[in-house]
């Protein structure tokens, strides 16, 4: 096992080595063959009295000197009306009136509400974060693949059983939140998100802002790109990124050429895996057309290599276009192999199912290790960012089913800058692409790109420096058929010098950028530190999301009892088991104490009988790892064993009233003899 990257040990040569590798890999679209030698990529920025390669920001280890350079940088290109740099005009993003830009305030005064919900993936925190736009205030966190004491998630029986059945992992790496759609617009019902780490897809119920289902997708190790099938959420689609033996049961471990990547479709209601498609190469990001037929995935490892040198060898990879109705037909016709209970259809290039006029999967050559796929609001084009090519490839989705050679569906390929990762839209004919290596957002004209020569940079209208190294960017409702423009978020991977230092693990930096209707220049108005590592976010106007403010007990009728003060009590259910039921209200539980026997398995059911919003009662039992959070009209249950005799104070963990501290009960565990 050799790994060249470890050969040099001092920090400086590691940086040089990385730079060299990137320089060697970043392709020039005009002539990919010629790049990769030692030539300069020609990219530099002219600053007053200073010429600095944009990527020098990647190298700078110390904040010293960087801050001033960054200021100069931002100032040089982003001309604000008053000549200030973005950091002068509110980059601090502290939410005060000083924090709002002179021209485009994002400040939401006390007592007023944001216009948009933003749902952020939490990366390896495993959670979804709800952030108000434009204030950037964090409103809520929804635990998904993690456990969360403040919400009792992973503590009560229901959520811990769900996590257990979904593989019993202690974490997940969520990247791509997607809102459910009806008629191509957000219906406010559900949010779906992937777990890249363990190959899962979860569903969050937006009535309660709570995870209500998780599927551990069979036959894949990781689910990366994830999307719902527009326009009516027929499936949740997930890309298996890591190629592995199928099934991964010990066969073919030393034959990587036999490994395979799978494209999976999950039923959004039952949350079961409906079918999978085996493909050549790997699968990275996915989006769908607006009419329910096409799903387009990127592939960065067409080489099917197992190490970085091989994965980046070729100058071309693919976009893969899945024909959903054709796949459904193949499944219906029985043209599949069942693996671990799931129909797996063969969508490799050699497959018979791919030979006719209606192939299941169309392979379209694309430069080079592409990353994102996003379909524009009118559904005409899919935009595939080149990552190691400075271009975005536009696929004409109307043509895909008509042309003999799918390559003829390529409708444009503007050159936008170095390290293009993701594209978003303002609904007025502009695309915005994040440039990871250049640390910029490029705004460009879609129709001009369709008319320009491949590789032309003419369609680029403007570039905005961001700080630093953006991944996803999202504009308001950009994934619907009717984007709202106005604001764009750049989810920057690195924050470097932008915040007070907090040790060597830095926050990410989500920057709020005013784009208006796309006719004016972009303007950064806020920096927002984000706990690592959000990848993507999605926005919905507040009119489209209607959460309940208290529970509706009809939603759990038949599953859990509703416990009032009158029916609180202890019921012996077996020789070594009891069912304890208690109501809760300000400021007492249904019982001041209850008694169980040493060794009893205790099922504890607690209802919050209040109907007043925002009055939550907690249930903590010291030394038993018991922690419930019970919202008004909700009931939660937990099962544990009373192992050791003694007295255990039960207390409420939410400061619910002036008598909150007195809101207590005693669990008395009597010795067995």
| Site of interaction with ligand CUK (CB under 6 A) | 175-176, 224, 285, 371, 421-422, 471-472, 535-536
Q: Which does 656 bind (CB under 5 to 8 A by kind): ligand CUA, ligand CUK, none?
A: ligand CUA
Q: H helices within 294-401, ranges in order?
A: 308-311, 324-332, 397-400
Rounded Cα gap, residues 352 and 359, in angstroms: 9
SS3 assignment for 181-245: EECCEEEEEEEEEEECCCCEEEEEECCCCEEEEEEECCCCCCEEEEEECCCCCCCEEEEECCCEC
Binding-residue total with ligand CUA (CB under 6 A)? 8
Q: Which is nearer to ligand CUK, 121 or 219 (CB)?
A: 121
Closer CB to ligand CUA, 319 or 652, in the complex: 652
Given ligand CUA, ligand CUK, none, residue 652, with its beta carbon under 5 to 8 Å by kind, binds ligand CUA
Partner touching 371 among ligand CUA, ligand CUK, none, CB below 5 to 8 Å by kind: ligand CUK
- The burial class, CB within 10 Å (0-12 / 13-18 / 19+), for 62 is exposed
* C-beta of residue 652 within 8 angstroms of C-beta of residue 663: yes
User: Least distance to ligand CUA from the beta carbon of 630, Å?
Assistant: 9
591 sits near ligand CUA (criterion: CB under 6 A): no
DSSP labels for 89-141?
A: TTTT--SSGGGS-SSS-----TT---SEEEEEE-BTT-EEEEEEETT--EEEE
Is residue 660 part of the contact set for ligand CUA (CB under 6 A)?
yes
Residues across the chain? 673
User: Which residue sits closest to ligand CUK, CB atoms considered?
Assistant: 471
Q: Which two tokens stand for residue 423?
A: 């594209």
User: What residues contact residue 343 under an 8 Å CB cut-off, 6+ apart?
Assistant: 274, 275, 276, 331, 336, 337
Q: State the minimum distance, in angstroms, from the CB of residue 552 to ligand CUA.
A: 21
Give the dihedral sign, CA 10/15/19/22.
positive
Q: Pick one of 663, 665, 667, 669: the residue that binds ligand CUA (CB under 6 A).
A: 663
| Both tokens assigned to 219 | 């036959």
Task: Dig out the tokens for 577 from the structure.
Answer: 């088991």
Contacts of 414 (CB under 8 A, 6+ apart): 391, 392, 394, 444, 449, 452, 455, 456, 457, 458, 459, 460
Binds ligand CUA (CB under 6 A): choice among 55, 151, 617, 624? 617
Tell me how far, at minimum, the Cβ of 580 lies from ligand CUA, in Å.
18
| Closest CB to ligand CUK among residues 25, 344 | 25
Quick one: 371 or 624, whose CB is closer to ligand CUK? 371
Structural Rg of the chain based on CA atoms = 27
Question: What's 42's DSSP letter?
Answer: -
**For residues 631 and 663, which CB has a smaller minimum distance to ligand CUA in the complex?**
663
CB-based contact 272:215 (threshold 8 Å): yes
Taking the complex as a whole, the smallest distance from the CB of residue 663 to ligand CUA amounts, in Å, to: 4
Q: How far apart are CA 491 and CA 4, in angstroms?
A: 31
With CB under 6 A as the contact rule, the residue among 133, 345, 609, 652 that binds ligand CUA is 652
Instruction: Show the binding pattern over residues 166-205: x = contacts ligand CUA (CB under 6 A), - = does not.
Output: ----------------------------------------
Please give the residues from 248 up to 307 whose contact with ligand CUA meets the rule CB under 6 A. none
By CB atoms closer than 10 A (0-12, 13-18, 19+), residue 161 is exposed
As measured in angstroms, the least distance from the Cβ of 562 to ligand CUA is: 18
Quote the DSSP letter at residue 150. Answer: G
Could you tell me which stretch among 247-255, 311-319, 523-531, 656-664 binds ligand CUA (CB under 6 A)? Answer: 656-664
Residue 175 contact partner, candidates ligand CUA, ligand CUK, none, CB within 5 to 8 A by sort of partner: ligand CUK
Binder of ligand CUA out of 235, 318, 336, 654 (CB under 6 A) = 654
By a kind-dependent CB cut-off of 5 to 8 A, residue 535 interacts, out of ligand CUK, ligand CUA, none, with: ligand CUK
Q: Which does 471 bind (CB under 5 to 8 A by kind): ligand CUA, ligand CUK, none?
A: ligand CUK
Instruction: Report the partner that residue 224 touches, choosing among ligand CUA, ligand CUK, none (CB closer than 5 to 8 A by kind).
Output: ligand CUK
The CA-atom distances, in angstroms, between 479 and each of 181, 229, 293, 522, 550 are: 10, 12, 17, 20, 30
Instruction: Tell the smallest beta-carbon distance from residue 655 to ligand CUA (Å).
Output: 6
Residue 609 is a binding residue for ligand CUA (CB under 6 A): no
Residues that bind ligand CUA (CB under 6 A): 587, 617, 652, 654-656, 660, 663
């Amino acid at each position: 096992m050799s790994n060249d990257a470890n050969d040099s040990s001092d920090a400086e040569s590691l940086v040089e080595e990385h730079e060299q590798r990137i320089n060697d890999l970043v392709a020039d679209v005009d002539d990919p063959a010629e790049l990769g030698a030692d030539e300069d990529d020609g990219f530099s920025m002219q600053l007053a009295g200073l010429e600095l390669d944009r990527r020098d920001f990647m190298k700078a280890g110390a904040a010293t000197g960087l801050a001033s350079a960054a200021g100069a940088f931002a100032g040089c290109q982003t001309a604000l009306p008053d000549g200030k740099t973005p950091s002068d005009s509110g980059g601090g993003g502290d939410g005060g009136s000083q924090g709002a830009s002179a021209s485009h305030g994002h400040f939401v005064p006390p007592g007023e509400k944001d216009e948009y919900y933003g749902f952020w993936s939490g990366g390896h925190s495993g959670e979804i974060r709800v952030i108000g736009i434009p204030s950037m205030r964090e409103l809520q966190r929804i635990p998904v693949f993690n456990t969360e004491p403040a919400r009792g998630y992973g503590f009560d029986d229901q959520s811990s059983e769900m996590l257990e059945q979904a593989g019993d992992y202690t974490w997940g790496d969520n990247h791509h939140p997607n809102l459910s759609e009806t008629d191509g617009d957000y219906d406010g019902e559900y949010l779906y998100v992937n777990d890249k780490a363990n190959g899962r897809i979860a569903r969050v119920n937006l009535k309660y802002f709570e995870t209500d289902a998780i599927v551990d997708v069979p036959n894949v190790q990781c689910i990366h790109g994830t999307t719902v099938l527009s326009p009516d959420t027929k499936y949740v689609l997930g890309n298996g990124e890591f190629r592995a033996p199928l099934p991964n049961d010990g066969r073919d471990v030393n034959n990587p050429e036999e490994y395979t990547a799978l494209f999976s479709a999950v039923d959004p209601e039952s949350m079961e895996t409906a079918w999978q498609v085996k493909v050549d190469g790997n699968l990275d990001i996915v989006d769908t057309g607006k009419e329910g037929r096409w799903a387009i995935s990127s592939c960065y490892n067409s080489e099917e290599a197992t190490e970085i040198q091989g994965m980046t060898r070729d100058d071309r990879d693919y976009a893969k276009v899945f024909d959903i109705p054709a796949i459904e037909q193949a499944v219906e016709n029985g043209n599949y192999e069942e693996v671990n209970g799931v129909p797996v259809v063969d969508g490799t290039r050699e497959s018979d199912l791919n030979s006719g006029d209606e192939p299941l999967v169309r392979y379209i050559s694309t430069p080079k290790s592409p990353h994102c796929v996003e379909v524009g609001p009118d559904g005409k084009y899919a935009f595939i960012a080149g990552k190691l090519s400075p271009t975005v490839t536009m696929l004409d989705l109307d043509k895909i089913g008509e042309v003999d050679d799918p390559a003829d569906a390529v409708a444009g390929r503007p050159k936008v800058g170095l390290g293009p990762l993701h594209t978003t839209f303002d609904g007025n004919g502009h695309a915005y692409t994040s440039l990871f290596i250049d640390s910029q957002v490029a705004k460009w004209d879609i129709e001009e790109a369709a008319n320009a020569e491949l590789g032309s940079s003419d369609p680029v209208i403007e570039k905005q420096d961001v700080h630093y190294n953006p991944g996803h960017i999202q504009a308001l409702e950009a994934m619907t058929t009717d984007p709202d423009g106005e604001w764009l978020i750049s989810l920057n991977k690195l924050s470097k010098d932008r915040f007070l230092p907090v040790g060597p693990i830095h926050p990410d930096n989500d920057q709020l950028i005013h784009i208006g209707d796309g006719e004016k220049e972009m303007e950064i108005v806020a920096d927002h530190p984000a706990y690592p590592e959000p990848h993507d976010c999605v926005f919905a106007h507040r009119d489209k999301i209607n959460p309940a403010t208290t529970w509706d007990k009809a939603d759990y009728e038949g599953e859990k009892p509703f416990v009032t003060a009158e029916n609180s009590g202890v019921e012996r259910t077996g020789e070594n088991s009891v069912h304890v039921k208690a109501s809760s209200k300000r400021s007492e539980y249904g019982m001041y104490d209850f008694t169980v026997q040493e060794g009893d398995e205790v099922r504890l059911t607690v209802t919050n009988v209040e109907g007043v919003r925002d009055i939550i009662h907690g249930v903590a039992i010291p030394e038993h790892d018991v922690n419930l959070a019970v919202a008004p009209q909700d009931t939660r249950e937990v099962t544990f064993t009373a192992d050791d005799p003694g007295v255990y104070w039960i207390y409420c963990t939410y400061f619910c009233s002036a008598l909150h501290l007195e809101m207590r009960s005693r669990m008395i565990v009597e010795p067995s003899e």
